[in-house]
Amino acid sequence: MKINEIFYSLQGEGRFAGHAAVFVRLSGCNLACPFCDTQHQDGREMTDDEIIGEIRKYPARHAVITGGEPGLQLTREFVDRLRLEGYFVQVETNGTLPIPPNVDWVTCSPKTLDIVLERVDEIKLLFHDDGHDEERVRLYEPIEARHRSLQPCDHAMTVHDDDECHLRNAATLANCIAFIKAHPAWSLSLQTHKMLGIR
């Protein structure tokens, strides 16, 4: 697989926020979202043995396969190997490609309507604060999920004035909180790693 980076940190978002995890970021994505805050294009080819050797360097038994888009490269065989090593395997996906069925936890962050996954463990939907969030939420409600969260969009990738970006982010957060209070089936997901200044 082509690996962008492997690093050890705390999960910053969603259901497992605050948990120590080894992150395996795969290179490449099938989407090009203007608000993407991840530099995932570069990388190097690594064998499964090399990847697992790197993961073993860290004490956590929670492995997060992310990207980019893991559905482009992740195989059932690699997930089997991680699980045999005793890892809980979480995948973060945009949902447009199949994910190996032996993954322990699928976090879907949909960015388009072309979702092929009918059931996931967690939906983590960006709250854009653009007047279409209620319609967007309704579109993804048919996907079966144990946990549903809304994450305020960080406008840093599209608003380049720091003061304007801060005001925009504050307004988006406030409106996201109000939306969740009116739609309590959803919970709030914050990018806590950015707040803490960690990876």
108 noted as active-site residue: no
Burial 78-115 (b: 16+ CB within 10 A, else e): bbebbeeeebbbbbbbbbbbebbeebebbbbbbbeeeb
Please tell me which residue in 23, 78, 127, 179 is annotated as part of the active site. 23
Rounded Cα gap, residues 136 and 156, in angstroms: 22
Give, rounded to a whole angstrom, the gap between the first and last alpha carbons of the chain. Answer: 22
Contact of 173 with 150, CB cutoff 8 Å:
no
Please tell me which residue in 33, 75, 132, 144 is annotated as part of the active site. 33
Contacts of 49 (CB under 8 A, 6+ apart): none
33 noted as active-site residue: yes
Please tell me which residue in 35, 36, 85, 166 is annotated as part of the active site. 36
Residues in the chain: 199
23 noted as active-site residue: yes
Contact of 153 with 172, CB cutoff 8 Å:
yes
Please tell me which residue in 35, 62, 85, 193 is annotated as part of the active site. 193
Please tell me which residue in 35, 37, 75, 85 is annotated as part of the active site. 37
92 noted as active-site residue: yes
141 noted as active-site residue: no
Please tell me which residue in 13, 16, 29, 122 is annotated as part of the active site. 29
Please tell me which residue in 13, 40, 69, 92 is annotated as part of the active site. 92
Please tell me which residue in 35, 38, 132, 166 is annotated as part of the active site. 38
The half-sphere exposure of 66 on its side-chain side, counting CA atoms within 13 A, is 21
Q: Which positions are annotated as active-site residues? A: 23, 29, 33, 36-38, 92, 193
